[in-house]
Each structure stands twice: as C-alpha cells, then as structure tokens.
C-alpha cells in the first residue's frame, strides 16, 4: 500500500504533533469511516502509537497508521494541505474513489 503525504501536508502534521506533545513514536492515523454525503469520509487523528493490526507507513517524514478496513480504500491516496480564500485544510486525491460530493470530504468507492 502507498499513501503519499505532500511536503506541505507533512509540515502541518509535524506542527500538530509538536503542539500536542505527542510521544516519539506518534503518527497520523488515516482512516476511512462510514458516513458523509457519499458513503465514506476520511478521518485524520494524531495518535501516540499504532494498533496491533495497523499497517505502518511513512511519507515525507510522517508516520502513518492505517487499519485493515481503511487500507482497502486508501492505496494510492495523496494527502495535501491547501490554503485558499475559503480557508485551509487537508485534501485527499483518491484514485479508488468512484464519486464524491461537492464539499470534498466524502467519497464513494
């Protein structure tokens, strides 16, 4: 499985990890959760350690924790952090998504 975190997104994640005073082995949990207008939504959370069944990846110096359910939907995803006049936040480019919603926070697979 491959997940890419852009350098811009990696800098934001590292900033959040530092602000939370997370442990040395901390990482970013990337998850797919049921919900949103299109069926699935993305979840991001800073966690101190991985779970037993997680796949642990690294991209641009960020440790990523992915559970088995989420992994099937996340292979090839690129996580970026963008700032526009409307605000700023993380975005996902998912080659596995067959559809999405106007808000960009949920998808269909």
Mean pLDDT of 70-79: 94
CA separation for the pair 10, 44 (Å, rounded): 13
Rounded mean pLDDT of 29-48? 85
Whether the CA torsion 55, 94, 45, 83 is positive or negative: it is: positive
32 DSSP β-pair partners: 42
Q: Would you say residue 82 has pLDDT above 60? A: yes
Tell me the residue length of the chain.
109
Residue with tokens 């970026």: 80
Q: What is the pLDDT of residue 95?
A: 87
Fold of 3-97: Hypothetical Protein Aq_1857; Chain: A; (2.60.300)
Residue 54, SS3?
A: coil
């Amino acid at each position: 499985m491959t997940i890419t975190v852009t350098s811009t997104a990696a800098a934001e994640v590292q900033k959040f990890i530092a602000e939370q005073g997370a442990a040395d082995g901390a990482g970013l949990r990337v998850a797919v959760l049921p919900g949103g207008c299109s069926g699935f939504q993305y979840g991001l959370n800073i966690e101190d350690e991985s779970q037993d069944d997680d796949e642990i990846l690294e991209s641009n110096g960020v440790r990523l924790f992915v559970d088995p359910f989420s992994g099937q939907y996340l292979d090839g995803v690129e996580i970026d952090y963008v700032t526009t006049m409307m605000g700023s936040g993380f975005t996902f480019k998912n080659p596995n998504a067959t559809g999405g919603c106007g808000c960009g926070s949920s998808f269909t697979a």
